[in-house]
Amino acid sequence: MTLNIGIVGTGWFSKVHGDILAETEGVRVAATCGTSMEKANSLASRYPGAKGFDSLTAMLDSERLDAVYLCVPPMAHEGMETELIARGIPFLVEKPLGVDWDGPNKILEQLRRKPVITSVGYHFRYKQSALHLKELLEGQTIGMALGAWMGSMPGVGWWRRQEGSGGQFIEQTTHLVDLLRYVAGEVEEVYAAYGNRIVHEQHEGVTVPDIGTVTLKLSSGAIANISNTCVLPGAVGEVGLSFYTEQGILAWDPDKFEIKNNGVSTSYSSTDNPYVAETLAFLHAVRTGDASRIRSDYADAVRTQAVTCAALESSLTGQSVRIL
Ligand SMILES: NC(=O)c1ccc[n+]([C@@H]2O[C@H](COP(=O)([O-])OP(=O)(O)OC[C@H]3O[C@@H](n4cnc5c(N)ncnc54)[C@H](O)[C@@H]3O)[C@@H](O)[C@H]2O)c1
Does ligand 1 have an atom closer than 6 angstroms to the CB of 278?
no
Report pLDDT digits (tens) over 236-291.
Answer: 999 999 999 999 999 999 999 999 998 899 999 989 999 999 999 999 999 999 99
For a mutational test of ligand 1's pocket, the pick from 33, 35, 78, i.e. the residue with the most ligand atoms closer than 8 A to its C-beta, is: 35
* Å from CA of 160 to ligand 1 middle: 14
Q: Is the pLDDT of residue 234 over 90?
A: no
The answer for residues whose C-beta is within 8 angstroms of residue 76's C-beta and 6 or more apart is: 9, 158
Helix axes 37-44, 12-22, angle to 10 degrees: 30
Rounded to whole angstroms, the Cα distance separating 73 from 159 reads 8
Count of H helices and E strands in the chain?
Answer: 13, 15
Average pLDDT over residues 73-96: 98
HSE, CB side, 13 Å, CA atoms: give it for residue 108.
17
**Residue 191 confidence (pLDDT):** 98
Pocket test for ligand 1, best of 8, 13, 230 (most atoms within 8 A of CB): 13
Q: How does pLDDT run across 162-199, given as a tens digit for each residue?
A: 999 999 999 999 999 999 999 999 999 999 999 999 99
280 half-sphere exposure, CB direction, 13 A CA radius: 9
pLDDT at 302: 98
The predicted model gives 135-162 an average pLDDT of 96
What confidence tier does 235 reach under pLDDT thresholds 50, 70, 90?
Answer: confident
CA of 9 from ligand 1 middle (Å) equals: 6
Give, for ligand 1, the residue of 8, 12, 119, 149 to mutate: max count of ligand atoms closer than 8 Å to Cβ.
12
Task: Write the pLDDT tens digit of every residue in 104-138.
Answer: 999 999 999 999 999 999 999 999 999 999 999 99
Give me the mean pLDDT over the 85-95 stretch: 98
pLDDT at 277: 98
Ligand 1 in contact with 33 (CB < 6 A)? yes
Distance between Cα 71 and ligand 1 center (Å):
5
Distance CA 171, CA 296 (A): 16
pLDDT at position 77 is 97
User: What is the per-residue pLDDT for 115?
Assistant: 98
Q: Select from 9, 4, 84 the least CA-distant residue to 48.
A: 4
> Is any ligand 1 atom within 6 A of the Cβ of residue 184?
no
Nearest to 184 by CA among 229, 143, 155: 143
Over the Cα atoms of the chain, what is R_g?
20
The answer to whether residue 306 scores a pLDDT higher than 80 is yes
Q: Is residue 221 left, alpha or beta, with left meaning phi > 0 and alpha meaning psi from -120 to 50? A: left
Give the distance (Å) from ligand 1 centre to CA of residue 94: 8
Interval between CA 14 and ligand 1 midpoint (Å):
7
Per-residue exposure over 137-151, b if at least 16 CB sit within 10 Å of its own CB, e if not? beeeebeebbbbbbb
Please write the tens of the pLDDT for every residue from 7-42: 999 999 999 999 999 999 999 999 999 999 999 999
Q: Please say if the pLDDT value at position 324 is more than 80.
A: no
**Alpha carbon of 324 to ligand 1 centroid (Å):** 29
Residue 43 has pLDDT above 90, yes or no: yes
Tell me what pLDDT residue 263 has.
Answer: 87
- Nearest 5°: phi and psi at 194? -120, 160
- The reply to whether ligand 1 has any atom less than 6 angstroms from the CB of 13 is yes
pLDDT above 80 (res 228) = yes
Q: In which band, very low, low, confident or very high, does the pLDDT at 101 lie, cut at 50, 70 and 90?
A: very high
Look up residue 206 and give its amino acid: V
Residue ranges of alpha helices (H) inside the chain are 12-22, 37-44, 56-62, 80-87, 102-113, 128-138, 157-160, 162-165, 168-171, 174-184, 199-202, 274-288, 298-317
Distance CA 190, CA 155 (A): 29
Distance, CA 307 to ligand 1 centroid (Å)? Answer: 22
